[in-house]
Chains A and B, each alone.
Chain A
Amino acid sequence: MVKQAFDEIMGMAGGPPPRAELAALSRWIEATPDAELRRRQQAAEATFRQLGITFAVYGESEASERIIPFDIVPRVFMHDEWERLSAGLIQRVEAINAFLEDIYGERRILKEGVLPTDLVLGNPQFRPEIAGMRPPHGVWAHICGIDLVRTGPDEFFVLEDNARTPSGVSYMLENREAMLRLCPELFRDFRVAAVDSYPDRLLETMKSVAPIGVSAPTCVVLTPGHYNSAYYEHSFLADSMGIELVEAADLVVDDDMVWMRTIAGRVKVDVIYRRVDDDYLDPLVFRPDSALGVPGLIAAYAAGNVAIINAPGNGIADDKAIYSYMPEIVRFYSGGEAKLPNVETWRCREPQALKYVLDNLADVVVKLVDGSGGYGMLVGPTASKAEIEAFRAALIAEPHRYIAQPTLALSTVPTLADSGLAPRHVDFRPFVLTGSRGVQVVPGGLTRVALKEGSLVVNSSQGGGTKDSFVLMDDRPHQSQGDGQSQTMGGMTQTQGTQGMNQGVTR
Chain B
Amino acid sequence: MLSRTASSLYWLGRYFERADFIARLVEATVRLDVLSPRPAGCAAWASALAVTDTDAAFEAAGAELKRSEVARFLTIDNSHAGSIVHSLDMARNNARAVRTALTREAWSAINRAWLMFEAKPAATDATSVLNLVEAVKNETRGFEGAVHRMLRNQTTWFIRLGQAVERADNTARLLDVKYHILLPEGERVGGVVDRDQWTTILQTVSAVTAYRWLYSDGLRPGNVIDLLIARAELPRSLAASVEETVDVLLMLAKRTGQHGEADRMARLRATRMAKTRSGEVIASGLHQYLQSFIEENALLHGAIGRQFKFG
**A residues lining the B interface (CB < 8 Å):** 49-52, 225-226, 231-232, 235-236, 238-239, 244-247, 249-250, 260-264, 507
Contacts and interface: CB of A to CB of B under 8 A. Distances in A.
Closest 7 A-B residue pairs measured CB to CB? A235-B99, A239-B100, A226-B96, A264-B256, A263-B308, A238-B100, A226-B97
B291 interface: no
A249 B4 contact: yes
Given A52-B96, A262-B1, A263-B309, 4 more contacts: A51-B104, A247-B4, A250-B4, A263-B154
A51 B6 contact: no
Contact of A264 (B4, B99, B111, B258): B258
B104 A260 contact: no
Given A51-B108, A262-B3, A239 B99 contact: yes
Contact size class for B? Answer: 20 to 34
A263 to B, nearest CB: 5
Interface string B215-258: 00000000000000000000000000000000000001000111
B103 A244 contact: no
A507 B1 contact: no
B107 interface: yes
Nearest to B255: A264
A245 B100 contact: yes
Contacts, number: 63
B3 A263 contact: yes
A329 to B, nearest CB: 37
Interface string B108-125: 100110010000000000
Interface string B13-42: 000000000000000000000000000000
Nearest to A47: B108
Nearest to B150: A507
Contacts of A261: 2-4, 309, 311
A220 B144 CA distance: 29
B310 to A, nearest CB: 9
A419 to B, nearest CB: 28
A interface secondary structure, majority = mixed
Contacts of B99: 52, 226, 231-232, 235-236, 239, 245
Contacts of B112: 50
Contacts of A263: 1-3, 6, 154, 252, 256, 308-309
A50 B108 contact: yes
Interface centre among B99, B108, B112, B256, by most chain A C-beta atoms within 10 angstroms, is: B99
B54 interface: no
A49 B96 contact: no
A235 B257 CA distance: 28
Interface in B252-308: 252, 256-258, 308
Contacts of A244: 2, 5, 100
B93 interface: yes
Contacts of B104: 51, 507
Q: Is the interface of B mostly helix, strand, loop or mixed?
A: helix
A264 B3 CA distance: 8
B103 A52 contact: no
A267 B219 CA distance: 56
A226 B2 contact: no
A506 to B, nearest CB: 9
A247 B100 CA distance: 13
Interface string B177-194: 000000000000000000
Contacts of B4: 247, 249-250, 261
A51 B112 CA distance: 9
Interface string B77-120: 00000000000000001001101100110011001100100000
B117 to A, nearest CB: 14
Contacts of A247: 4
A262 B5 CA distance: 9
Contacts of A245: 99-100
B2 to A, nearest CB: 5
B93 A226 contact: yes
Nearest to B151: A507
A246 B256 contact: no
A234 to B, nearest CB: 9
A276 to B, nearest CB: 16
A244 to B, nearest CB: 6
Contacts of B103: 507
B2, B107, B311 interface centre (most CB from chain A within 10 Å): B2
A245 B5 CA distance: 9
Instruction: Name, among A232, A235, A245, A263, the residue most crowded by chain B CB atoms within 10 Å (CB to CB).
Output: A263
A465 B112 CA distance: 24
A69 B6 CA distance: 34
Contacts of B257: 264
Nearest to A221: B100
A262 B108 contact: no
Contacts of A235: 96, 99-100
A308 to B, nearest CB: 19
B115 A250 contact: no
Nearest to A231: B96
For B3, B93, B309, the residue with the greatest tally of chain A CB atoms inside 10 Å of its CB is B3
A51 B308 CA distance: 29
19 contacts: A49-B115, A50-B112, A52-B107, A52-B111, A226-B93, A231-B96, A236-B99, A238-B100, A239-B100, A244-B2, A244-B100, A249-B4, A260-B2, A261-B3, A261-B309, A262-B2, A262-B3, A263-B154, A263-B252
B5 to A, nearest CB: 8
A161 to B, nearest CB: 29
Nearest to B5: A244
A239 B97 CA distance: 12
The winner among A250, A260, A262, A507 for most chain B CB atoms within 10 A is A262
A262 B112 CA distance: 30
B154 to A, nearest CB: 7
A181 to B, nearest CB: 13
Contacts of B5: 244
Residue among A231, A235, A238 with the highest chain B CB neighbour number at 10 A: A235
Interface in B133-179: 154
A54 to B, nearest CB: 10
A42 B100 CA distance: 26
B104 to A, nearest CB: 6
A459 B4 CA distance: 33
B10 to A, nearest CB: 10
A421 B111 CA distance: 32
A264 to B, nearest CB: 4
B107 A51 contact: yes
Contacts of B100: 235, 238-239, 244-245
A39 to B, nearest CB: 20
Which of B4, B5, B100, B111 has the largest count of A CB atoms less than 10 A from its CB? B100
Contacts of B308: 263
B111 A50 contact: yes
Residue in A52, A236, A247, A250 with the greatest tally of chain B CB atoms within 10 Å: A52
B257 to A, nearest CB: 7
A77 B103 CA distance: 34
